Chains A and B, each alone.
Chain A
Amino acid sequence: MSRLAVDLAYLFAGACFVLALKWMSAPTTARRGIWMGEAGMLVAVAATLLKQEVVTYTWIVVALFIGSAIGATMAILMPMTAMPQRIALSHAFGALAAALVGTAEYRLAAPDIHPLKMGVLGAEVLLGFLTFTGSLMAFGKLQELLPTRPIVYRGQKVVNLSVLAAAVGMVALLVPFPGHKELFVVLAALALIFGVFLIIPIGGADMPTVISILNSYAGLSGAALGFVLDNKVLIIAGALDGSSGFLLSLIMCRAMNRSFTNVLFGAFGRVEPSARVEVEERPVRSGSPEEAAMILDAARSVIVVPGYGLAVAQAQHKVRELADLLARRDVDVRYAIHPVAGRMPGHMNVLLAEAEVPYEQIHDMESINLEFAHSDVAMVVGANDVTNPAARHARDSPLYGMPVLNVDQAQTVMVIKRSMNPGFAGIENELYYLDKTMMLFGDARAVLGELVNELLRTSARM
């Protein structure tokens, strides 16, 4: 296939990718977007396989087969609650591929590499390898193979920045001396170590931001590979991926009231207040499912606030069951989603969609926050920090300034929670001590099941 034909195929693929993302702007057109993306990918891969440089197909066929089998199996079997892990893993795979191709390009071309190309190559390999181990670490934390609590020690930032600086130094040395292959090995090793160090101080609650940033890094390493290989469709796709991840991390930062510079260099392990404020034993009102069902029975509007606890308990189907029962009694049920609810952007929406909650009922924070004041019941299922009213008024709270859902403005607040343990951030939630708050302790799925049974029983009595 002529060079021009291949280039045109790549251009077509690039255009398809832009359209695919454009159609993601509405659920009604989003699936069309996938088909567009697939069409672009198919054309690009087919054109590549017909390139003159490609002379043997044995290993390509083997790799395509193994990759498709693994990818398809994961896509079919992966439960929706494990979506954040899967995304983290795919960032790792993407970055690994980019880094390995970069490494091979270096080994094939060294020592005769133009300084400019060496600089790009070094940056590409650095970004690729650090995203690879960083994403694997994120996967480990999300899968709870690694401790999810942030691990911090004195001088951590200094250590991290030194490792990064050393890696950048290797790139700087390679630019004038591309023949020193040992420098390249050290560069790769430092990048791999930095990726690990980057994620160590990060706790579970910061995962939405971290995943978005790793998304951005993975995109950038792809774009950098495009520069190395002089392949324009790689640059386009990498730029789209990078800007998407960057935009999502900005949204996540805003939702947590953290500055982007605070996050950019992995300094985002939330610093816990060293002297945790001693909270005196305050009474909380613990309610029974019967009481809660009675209140729900009399309510006209209910807003459900799901959080990570809902995903852990796999309670999305029970929530929908309860909502259906209430809807049959003409109760208006809506869902309020905080941008950082769950472990990745949009995590809760996918779970609710899986439980067949119609998406008109799902509202983001901005559009629903004024509605709490007019609603009878706000039901918090496994969410914590994003409902803490202290964020609005307590200047000494670490959460101060973070936009929260105004759950406390509802007539009655029900909180379904396993225990009084404070969440990841270790911050007391004053919502639980309000007079209007009723705590329903237990596993979210079990508690919701009891509520459903109670409601069924009262309707049988009627």
Chain B
Amino acid sequence: MLSRLEIGLYIFVLATFLGFEVIRRVPSLLHTPLMSLTNAISGISLVGSLVLAGSGRGAMATALGTIAVTASTINVVGGFMITDRMLRMFKRRDERKPK
């Protein structure tokens, strides 16, 4: 347990620093799409829910897992789609369709 936790902590700390460095470069223009995208990405907890819902470890696990899969899927599918919808609207002057 301890060594796995240790590896996990390494990953967590390094990913946090990496996150800071990458996200610091995102302009305030894109802060809403950024939040929406990180939301979709953190929907990766879906993989945990999937194992729970599909492992056949009793009714309780299946029920909680199914709710969790539904909630995460809403975030993943909805998150990516709405981020894309937003980003499609950001246009430069010359990209605007002539009126």
Q: Which residues of A contact B35 (CB under 8 A)?
A: 87, 211-212, 215, 244-245, 248, 344-346
> Are B8 and A232 touching (Cβ within 8 A)?
yes
Say whether A462 faces chain B, with CB atoms less than 8 Å apart.
no
Q: Considering the chains assembled together, what is the distance between the CA atoms of A62 and B50 in angstroms? A: 12
> Are A64 and B73 touching (Cβ within 8 A)?
yes
Say whether A383 faces chain B, with CB atoms less than 8 Å apart.
no
Q: Considering the chains assembled together, what is the distance between the CA atoms of A212 and B39 in angstroms? A: 11
Interface residue from B7, B45, B66, B88 paired with A94 (Cβ < 8 Å): B45
Say whether A412 faces chain B, with CB atoms less than 8 Å apart.
no
Interface string of B1-45 (1 = CB under 8 A from A): 110110110011101111110111111111111111111111111
> Are A45 and B46 touching (Cβ within 8 A)?
yes
Q: Which residues of A contact B66 (CB under 8 A)?
A: 59-60, 62-63
Interface string of A211-232 (1 = CB under 8 A from B): 1100100110011011101111
> Are B70 and A18 touching (Cβ within 8 A)?
no
Minimum CB–CB distance for B96 against chain A, Å: 6
Q: Considering the chains assembled together, what is the distance between the CA atoms of A75 and B61 in angstroms? A: 29
> Are A48 and B78 touching (Cβ within 8 A)?
no
Minimum CB–CB distance for A96 against chain B, Å: 5
Q: Considering the chains assembled together, what is the distance between the CA atoms of A316 and B17 in angstroms? A: 37
Interface string of A33-56 (1 = CB under 8 A from B): 110011011001100110101111
Q: Which of B56-99 contact A (CB under 8 A)?
A: 56-58, 60-62, 64-93, 95-97, 99
Minimum CB–CB distance for B9 against chain A, Å: 8
Interface residue from A30, A215, A241 paired with B87 (Cβ < 8 Å): A30
Minimum CB–CB distance for B89 against chain A, Å: 4
Q: Which residues of B contact A41 (CB under 8 A)?
A: 40-41, 43-44, 46, 76, 80
Say whether A180 faces chain B, with CB atoms less than 8 Å apart.
no
